[in-house]
Chain A
C-alpha cells in the first residue's frame, strides 16, 4: 500500500483550525488511513490506491476538514481559461494516443511541497497509471517553455538532455542506459517513440520515460505545466484531477491548456452528479436515518448533497474515482455518520450449521492417528523441488511449478506428503526418539488441468523400526477408523528399500505406498536413524 507523510505543523496550517495531534491521529483511521509509523514531528500513513487524492497531505487535510466538521461539502476547483495549446499529432495514435494538461501559476514551492508532489506523481504512476502503462505525468517549469507544444513521435535517434543528465542522449541511449529507461522501456514497442516538443524545438518530455533537464521543477519554479499522456482518456483525466486539486491546495492558480488534434480534446474535470435512494442507505446500514442526516454525513465526506424527494442528489468531485455507484455513496454516509456510532445487531440463524463431510472424515483420520501415538505436523503444499524430488530421487516429469516465486522453498506444488515428513524428521534429529509423525493435506497432480486430492502420510523413526511396525499402523488405522481392509503387494519406489516396500491396495485398487525408507534417501537428508512410513490417498477412499 502507498504511504503519505504528514508533518503535524503542515497539517495544522492546512486544516485552518487548531486541532490536537491526538485528535488527528485518532481520526485518520476513520478515513480508512492506517498509521504505519509515528515520530515526534510527523506520521507515515498507508492509504488505499483507490483514493489517489490521499497521496498528498493536501488531500488528507481536505478529508480531515470534513470529518472534523471544519469545512463541509465539495471543495471547488477554479480553472481560468488559459492561452496556451498542445497539439497532438496523429502519429501518437497507435502508441500513446491521449494527452491532457493544465497550467499552475504563481505558486511557491518549498522542499516539502516538492516532495509531496513528487511522491503523489509516483503513486499516481503506480496506481491509476498502472506502472506508467496506462498514464504517465510530466511536470515542468512553465517559464522554460515556448508554446505551442507538439506531442508527436520521433525516431529513436532523437536527441535531448534528459533529467539527471548533463549531456544530450538519444532516445535509444535513454532506454538502454538510464534507470527509468530500463524500468519502463518495455512500454515502448514501436520503432518510433513519443515526445513533446516546444516551439523553439526543445524536447520537454519523453513520455512515459523521462522529462527534459531544461524544464526541471525546482524550489525556484513559480509556474508549472502538468501534462498527462495516456492510453486511456478517462484515466488521464482522473490523474490530472488529482494533481489539479493538490496544486490548487498548494496555492497555485490553475489555467486550462487547449488540446488539439485527432481523438483529443480539453480534459473534463468537472464534478459528477449521482442520485442516492435513501431506502438503500437505511437497508444496507440497518439504520433509520433522516434525509437531512444523510446529507450532512455526505457533506462530511466532502461531497455535495441535496434532498430531492425520497432521494438525494450528490455532487462528486472528479478526483473521487472510487465512487462507481450508489453503494459507494452508502459507505460515504456510513463514514460520515461514524462507524464507531453503529450499534451491533446479531441476526438469528434460521437453521443449524454443519461441517463438510470431508472435514468430518478427516477429523476421524487425525484422531485415529493421534490414538496410534503419532504427532501431527503441518507443512506447506507449495514446496521446493529439492526436497520433493531431488533428495527423494523421485521422477520430476509431472511436476507443477508456479511462475516467478520469490522463494526457492516455494516453487512447486507437492504431489506427495512423505518427502516433507522426511524433511521434518531431518530437522529434528537432536530430539528424543522414537519419532512418530503424520500429516494430512492436499497434493496436486496434472489432470485437466489439476486434480487435487487429500492424502495422509506418516513416518516412524527409531533404531528398531520395521516394515511390520508401520504396516500394523496402516491396518489399524483403516480397520478401526473406517472398517476397511487393505492388502500390500511387493513393489518398487526410489523412496523405499527394495524388498521392503509395497503398494497398498483396497478392493484391488492402489491407494498408496508403504515401506522402509531407503538409506540413500535418509542419507540425503542427513538422517542417522532408520525410518519407515506410508502414504495413502483419502479422496475417493473415505470421502
Chain B
C-alpha cells in the first residue's frame, strides 16, 4: 500500500523524478518551497526510505596569481616564443634568453620544447614550427571567463591539460566545498508515480497523522512569579492580609525602629545599599522618634543621631513595612504579610543576588506563643509541599527568642536553611506603642523557587533565557 505523503514530500519527489541527484538549494528553487520546508521534507523522506542523502565534496578552480599574469602576458613558453620572434634571426644564445626570462627561464624552455616550438642546438635556441594555442592556455581562458567566480573542476573537459597546469605552481587555486545531495530511491520512484496520480481536490486529502508537528510556545507567567503567587495564596488561605510598601526606605524604619544600633556592622555601606546623597525629610512621628531614641540610648549607650536615621536605603528586609504598619495602626490582633524585593550589597554568586524577593508574615495577639510560630511554619511548609522541617536557635537583632527553620532538600540530600523567625523584642515593640507579642518570620522566595525548579544557581531565575522560560513546565 502506498504511504500518505505530505504535499511537501510529494513536491520533492516529483521534482526528483526530473533530475535524480540534486542539492536542497536546487530543490527549493524548483519547487518554490522554503529551504526549511525542503530540509524538513528531506528528513521525513529519508526516514521513510524514499530518498537517500549523501554528503559530497565538490572541487572548484580559479586562477592563481601566476595564472592571472599568464592571462595578460601569456605563459612563460609563449613569452619566450614572442621574444625569439622579435629578434632578427629568430634565435639566440641560451644566456641571452636566460637574461630575458629570468626566473621563468627553465619552465619556458621545458614547455616550449614539449610543444615542439624550439630546438636547442650548440647552446643556441632556434624557433621552430607552428605556435597554436595550447590546451593549457585554453583552460586559463575558460576559467577567466567565469571570473571572479570559481569554476567547478568537473566542468573542464580536458582533464590531461588541467592536471598538467595543476602541476605548475601558482597558476591555479583549488578549493573544495562540502554539500548535500539528494537521490531518489527505487521505492521513492514508485511512490512519486503513485503520488502524482492522486489529484482529486474535491476529497479531503488524508494527511500523515504520525508526522511530527512544528513546535509552538505557550506564553506564560514567569516561574518565579508563579512561586510568589503560590506563597501569597497560602498566606491568604491562612488568614493573612497583604501589605505593600516602598523599596526605598529611611534607615529609621529599616534599622532604628528594629533596635539595630547606628554603628551596627549590618548598617555599613558594604552590606546595605544607601541611596547616594539622599535623606528622608520626615521619617516618623515626633513621638515615635523620641521613643526610639530613648530605647537606643538606654540599650546601647550611645548618642543616637536623627540624621543617620534619615538616610535613605534600599530596604534590606520587608520588616520595615510590617513594623511601620504595626506602629501606625496599633492592632490588638492581626495577621499580616508582605512580599517584595529586598536588596543587599553583596557580590553576586550562585548563592547570592543583590536583589531578591522576600516574604514576611506577622501575627499580633495577646496569647500568641513561640509554639504557635512554629506551628504556622509547619502549616505553611506542608502547603508548599515541603515534608521535612525542623528548627534551630539563631540570632536576629530584633527578635527574641529567634529561630531558623531547616528543611530537607531531597535532591541534595541535606538540610538547608529556609526562614528566619522570632518574637519581636520589647525594645522594638514598646517604644512604638505595640503592647502585645508579635510573631514574625520571613525569608527569600528564590530559595523556594530553586527547590521547586531544581536549580543550583539562583542567577538562573533572572537570566530570562527564553529556552528555559519557554520549556520549563508550568506545573511542577
Contact B379 A353 (CB under 8 A): no
Interface residues of B in 253-286 (CB under 8 A from A): 263, 265, 269-270, 273-276, 278-281
Contact B346 A375 (CB under 8 A): no
Asked, given contacts A354-B236, A450-B278, whether A404 binds B269 with beta carbons under 8 Å apart, the answer is: yes
Contact A449 B281 (CB under 8 A): yes
What is the 8 Å Cβ interface bit string for chain B, positions 381-421, against chain A (1 contact, 0 not)? Answer: 00000000011111101001111000000000000000000
What is the 8 Å Cβ interface bit string for chain A, positions 349-373, against chain B (1 contact, 0 not)? Answer: 1111111101100010010011111
Contact B299 A353 (CB under 8 A): no
B246's partner among A286, A370, A435, A450 (CB-CB below 8 A) is A450
A contact residues around B153 at 8 Å (CB):
none
Contact A347 B247 (CB under 8 A): no
A contact residues around B343 at 8 Å (CB):
382
B276's partner among A330, A346, A355, A403 (CB-CB below 8 A) is A403
User: Which of A286, A369, A402, A432 is the most central at the interface, judged by chain B CB atoms within 10 Å of its CB?
Assistant: A402
CA distance A450 to B227 in the complex (A): 29
Contact B275 A452 (CB under 8 A): no
CA distance A284 to B401 in the complex (A): 9
Contact A330 B401 (CB under 8 A): yes
Contact B375 A347 (CB under 8 A): yes
Least Cβ distance of A76 to chain B in Å? Answer: 26
Contact A380 B355 (CB under 8 A): yes
CA distance A352 to B467 in the complex (A): 40
A contact residues around B280 at 8 Å (CB):
449
- By beta carbon, the residue of chain A nearest B302 is A232
Contact B371 A342 (CB under 8 A): yes
B contact residues around A448 at 8 Å (CB):
281
B345's partner among A404, A409, A449 (CB-CB below 8 A) is A404
CA distance A278 to B302 in the complex (A): 32
User: Which of B215, B279, B426 is the most central at the interface, judged by chain A CB atoms within 10 Å of its CB?
Assistant: B426
Contact A130 B461 (CB under 8 A): no
Contact B462 A402 (CB under 8 A): no
Contact B263 A401 (CB under 8 A): no
Least Cβ distance of A300 to chain B in Å? Answer: 13
A contact residues around B225 at 8 Å (CB):
366, 376, 378
Contact B355 A382 (CB under 8 A): yes
A48 at the interface (CB under 8 A from B): yes
Q: Is the interface of B mostly helix, strand, loop or mixed?
A: mixed
What is the 8 Å Cβ interface bit string for chain A, positions 179-206, against chain B (1 contact, 0 not)? Answer: 0000000000000000000000000000
Contact A402 B347 (CB under 8 A): no
Asked, given contacts A374-B219, A378-B461, A402-B276, whether A450 binds B354 with beta carbons under 8 Å apart, the answer is: no
Q: Which of B84-92, B141-149, B200-208, B361-369 sits within the interface?
A: B361-369
B244 at the interface (CB under 8 A from A): yes
Interface residues of A in 303-361 (CB under 8 A from B): 322, 324-325, 327-328, 330-331, 334-335, 339-340, 342-347, 349-356, 358-359
Least Cβ distance of B242 to chain A in Å? Answer: 4
Contact A402 B314 (CB under 8 A): yes
Q: A374-B219, A406-B348 are in contact. List 20 more A-B contacts (CB 8 A).
A: A30-B392, A32-B393, A284-B437, A322-B395, A344-B375, A345-B371, A346-B375, A347-B376, A351-B335, A352-B236, A370-B220, A372-B219, A378-B225, A400-B275, A402-B273, A402-B274, A403-B274, A404-B269, A427-B463, A452-B248
